[in-house]
Structure 1
Amino acid sequence: MVMSPAPPPSDRSAYAVGTFFAGAGVMHFARPDFFEAIVPRWFPNPKFANQASGAAEIVLGLGMIPRRTRPLAARGLLLLTAAVYPANIDMAINDVVVKPGDDGRMERVEGVTAARPVNLLRLPLQFVMAWAIRRHLRPR
């Protein structure tokens, strides 16, 4: 039996990034109430923000799989990561937590100081994700 060689580390990294974002994008449609609750209050249309960012995550995440489309998908993911960063800042500033409401749908609750450490941790993690994406800007 002939075994094919394992993919190179750059491919494995791209697969991981792509799978993460595509999976997150699917969750935007599976649990829209959660993701709409994360959208800052100043944004006029949380449903649109959720659907647009979820669709972009799916398309760009899948674009990380083929080597041919990887650099373009990586550029898109970097832009998307920057575009959603204000939501992470909003969560940190307003101590936002998302939890089930009385009707069972997820709702945004502000002023929960216990959420602050997790929300603050999300801020530098966006840069770690951007670093992982940036590695794929050039074809290999």
Structure 2
Amino acid sequence: MDKQAIGLAGMLAAMGTLHFVAPKPFDSIVPRQLPGSPRTWTYVSGVAELAVAAAVAYPPTRRAGALAAAALFVGVFPANVKMAVDWRHASPAKRAIAFGRLPLQLPLIAWARRVAR
């Protein structure tokens, strides 16, 4: 497995696991417009990240998994926007984290696309 794929799969697996180990921070950034419980969305997104990680790790499904990872990074962008809006009056450190996550999605998408090739 190439290093790019290992790294992407590992990062997705770690984040997916965190959705179950420490769900509260994820619950807080679920957009209010989504129906149902934020915890349900936290778990659903955790399962999605773990499934995508497995697809990226397995060479026969790597391309599809990496494209799914790119789509996942686009799909979670509204949660990052919500975090930035919610934390706009927080401490400078929290604001830096929240606003820093927004442009971070672009290199994550590019990384997934590189793995897909």
Taking structure 2 as the reference length, what is the TM-score of the superposition? 0.88
Taking structure 1 as the reference length, what is the TM-score of the superposition? 0.75
Q: Does structure 2 retain, via aligned residues, the 8 Å contact 1:39–1:49?
A: yes
Report what 2:78 is aligned to: 86
Give unpaired runs (5+ residues) of structure 1: 1-6, 97-110
Runs of 4+ in 1 over 3 A off after TM superposition: none
Any residues of structure 2 matched to 1:67-86 within 5 Å, and which? 67-86=59-78
Give unpaired runs (5+ residues) of structure 2: none
Identity of aligned residues (%): 32
Report what 2:27 is aligned to: 36
Higher strand fraction (1 or 2):
1
Q: Does structure 2 retain, via aligned residues, the 8 Å contact 1:19–1:62?
A: no
Q: Distance in 2 between matches of 1:63 and 1:24?
A: 15
Q: Report whether the alignment pairs 1:119 with 2:111.
A: no
Deviation at 1:113, TM superposition (A): 4.6
Deviation at 1:47, TM superposition (A): 1.5
Higher helix fraction (1 or 2):
2
Q: Distance in 2 between matches of 1:40 and 1:88?
A: 9
Structure number with greater Rg is: 1
- Alpha-carbon RMSD across the aligned residues, in angstroms, is 1.6
Deviation at 1:60, TM superposition (A): 0.6
Q: Distance in 2 between matches of 1:51 and 1:124?
A: 24
Aligned length: 115
The amino acid of 2:107's aligned partner reads V
Deviation at 1:93, TM superposition (A): 2.1
Deviation at 1:43, TM superposition (A): 2.7
